[in-house]
Amino acid sequence: MAKKISLLLVLMMLLGMAAACAPNTAPAAPTSTAAPAQSTATAFLPATATATPEATATPTLTPTPAYPAEGVGPGNFPEGYDPLTGLKAADPALLGRRPLIIKVENLPRDDRPQWGLSNADLIYEYYTELGTTRFAAIYYGQDAEKVGPIRSARHFDVNVIRAYKAWFIFGSAYEGVMTRLLNSEFYMRLILEGPYACPALCRDNATGKNFLVANTAEFYKAVTGDNARQNLDGMFFQLQAPTGGQAANSVFARFSAAVYNRWDYDAKSGRYLRFSDIDNDFTGSNEQYGPLVDRATQEQIGAENVVIIFAPFEYLVKRADTEVLDVNMNGSGLAYIARDGQIYKVRWSRPTQDSVISLTYEDGTPFPFKPGKTWFEVMGITSAIEQTDAISRFKFSIP
């Protein structure tokens, strides 16, 4: 039996870890020259150094037939309901803990498909730099035996760590980002790889690449800090689709010539299925897609809700070879949500830094998510919107 891991504050020397924290770029794009820093962070010590087992398929959660007609949330969730999915958890005991956010890479394409994305309650995809995106995957009502490849943090992550009061697993960070994280009120919930981190954090070399991956169940067994249940109220769920939507058989989210996605509605499952770029498209007229699957299950990634959020991005550094951005996810702004083959113009809302991100109508009343999983595509406030027939296109842009 593996020895129980203690969670300690240790000195982490990050010099020499540039490969772990350098941004992923498009195949033809330059690589950022921003340097990592010497910093401290929380890490695992000690544990056995065994490999993480390959994940097994996890059944997709589906709404119960007796789902309350009035919906659940945004507060006073019934016993056993996950406030991030609006569904009854298969194991309600999992809801008695903090969520866990894991940073997962999207580029280079050769590293796809990723492990464990289908087990996340929520996923935020956002622009990082030089045409790339990364995922902040939030695990709460389900565990995943393998999540990864894990990559480095960005300024955006501060928003979701605070909103979901979460643990945060990442693979280092730029100096400015690391300093911000370590000076935060949540610094004791920052998790970096330590020399004896496995089986919670392991290295996977099965594909010939040295990937860092996480096992969420093993992490929760190991953690010894404050892991009490947090207030995650804010999201409202209703099984019945609202009126007033526009047909949306396909939703496109284009971030750059290297990263563009399509979500197609599958009426049989009632979910949107994700298709991702398989080649660069520099002209905007030759996008090529392939289904994005979970490497752990070989099943296509899907979500009951696809939400496009428009938020203000700010350049902290902008050079030909380096971009460093921050994103302000406080307050409210324009959003669209696709559910049940319809898309709706709504508002995203985060009134305080420890509020989860919710959706409202223009008058401020809660807008219902469909019970299930949600994928957030975070766009700049000047991003283009095109809606024709049953197709909605969103093209990332920032001033």
Nearest alpha-carbon partner for 139 in 186, 84, 189: 84
Are 249 and 272 in contact by the 8 Å Cβ rule? The answer is no
Closest CA to 272 of 358, 369, 340, 359: 340
Question: Rounded mean pLDDT of 364-389?
Answer: 98
pLDDT digits (tens, 9 = 90+) for 324-370: 999 999 999 999 999 999 999 999 999 999 999 999 999 999 999 99
Residue entry with tokens 């037939």: 65
User: What is the model's pLDDT at position 14?
Assistant: 28
Mean pLDDT of 71-78: 97
Residue 65 pLDDT level (bands cut at 50, 70, 90): low
DSSP secondary structure code for residue 76 in this structure = S
CB 145 within 8 A of CB 296: yes
User: 266-285 burial string, b = 16+ CB within 10 Å, else e?
Assistant: eeeebbbbbbbbeebbeeee
Band (210; pLDDT cuts 50, 70, 90): very high
> In the prediction, which pLDDT does 207 show?
84
Residue 28, pLDDT above cutoff 60: no
Least confident of 21-35, 205-219, 269-283, 292-306: 21-35
Its pTM surpasses 0.85: yes
What's the whole-number mean pLDDT along residues 68-93? 97
Residue whose token pair is 């324009």: 334
Q: How many separate helices (H) and strands (E) can be counted in the chain?
A: 4, 24
- How far CA 33 is from CA of 19, 78, 319, 321, 389, in Å, comes to 11, 50, 10, 7, 44
User: Is the pLDDT at 13 greater than 50, yes or no?
Assistant: no
| pLDDT, tens only, 29-40 | 333 333 333 333
DSSP string, 300-341: BPEESEEEEEEE-EEEEEE-SS-EEEEE--SEEEEEEEEETT
Q: Could you tell me the maximum CA-CA distance found in the chain, to the nearest angstrom?
A: 58
**H or E stretch including 221?**
helix 216-222
Q: Which residues, at least 6 apart from 238, have a Cβ–Cβ distance to it below 8 Å?
A: 70, 71, 368, 369, 370, 371
Domains with residue ranges and CATH for the chain? 21-27+38-54+80-222 (3.50.90.10), 246-395 (3.50.90.10)
User: Which whole number is the average pLDDT over 265-277?
Assistant: 98
pLDDT at 35: 33
Under 8 Å between Cβ of 227 and 97: yes
- The residue whose two tokens read 């404050």 is 226
Element (H, E) at 157: helix 157-164
| Interval 1-10 mean pLDDT | 33
